[in-house]
Amino acid sequence: MNDERQIRNLALVGFMGTGKSSVGRLVADVLHFTFLDTDDVIEARAGCSIREIFDQHGEATFREWERRIVQELTRRNRTVIATGGGLPANEANLASLKSHALVICLWASPEKILERVRGLSHRPMLNDPDPLARIRELLAQREPFYRQADVLVNTEMRSPREVAQQVLHQFHIAQAAQPRHPAS
């Protein structure tokens, strides 16, 4: 592992419906870390839902909010960060997360993702007559970014609790590999 990196935090990236928030909460509980969801922070600051931000201001404004939060995250310690699905699809965001966090990508197939997000109308990126095709298209665009995560965890056949165990295992390995900057 690069000596310049300080693994003080844990960042969960990955597509919508891969369980970043539920897994993140479980992991934060075990580690006694603070849990932070970038979507929640944006909604709290904007005073409206993500769907409303997309409808009223457009995706570019939402991505700018994300970019600003990523910069602020560099000051955090002992935090589990669940990111919006599109946040790491930006080199600068990903590089910034990697400077202070172990970045773990949660993965699932397009079919599984559809099964998990079906009926949830609050995700503007999937507002499409053919959501499966849209998921495939977005996944293909984002895969090169997701693959740059430190660790890829397949969530396909696993419960959030099982995924959380995998994530914790990887985090402990990463911490052990950098004895000069322990996160706890």
The residues binding ligand S3P (CB under 6 A) are 16, 20, 39, 50, 84-86, 123-125
The backbone torsions φ and ψ at residue 40, rounded to the nearest 5 degrees and listed phi first, read: -65, -40
Task: Pick the closer one to ligand S3P by CB: 5 or 40.
Answer: 40
Amino acid in position 164: A
d(C-alpha 105, C-alpha 127), whole Å: 24
CB of 80 to ligand S3P, least distance (A): 14
Which residue in the shown chain puts its C-beta closest to ligand S3P? Answer: 84
Task: Pick the closer one to ligand S3P by CB: 86 or 110.
Answer: 86
Residue ranges with strand state E in the chain: 9-14, 34-37, 79-82, 101-107, 151-154
Task: Pick the closer one to ligand S3P by CB: 90 or 165.
Answer: 90
CB of 138 to ligand S3P, least distance (A): 7
**Which residues, including other chains, have CB under 8 Å from residue 87's CB and lie 6 or more apart?**
13, 38, 66, 70, 93
Task: Pick the closer one to ligand S3P by CB: 20 or 112.
Answer: 20
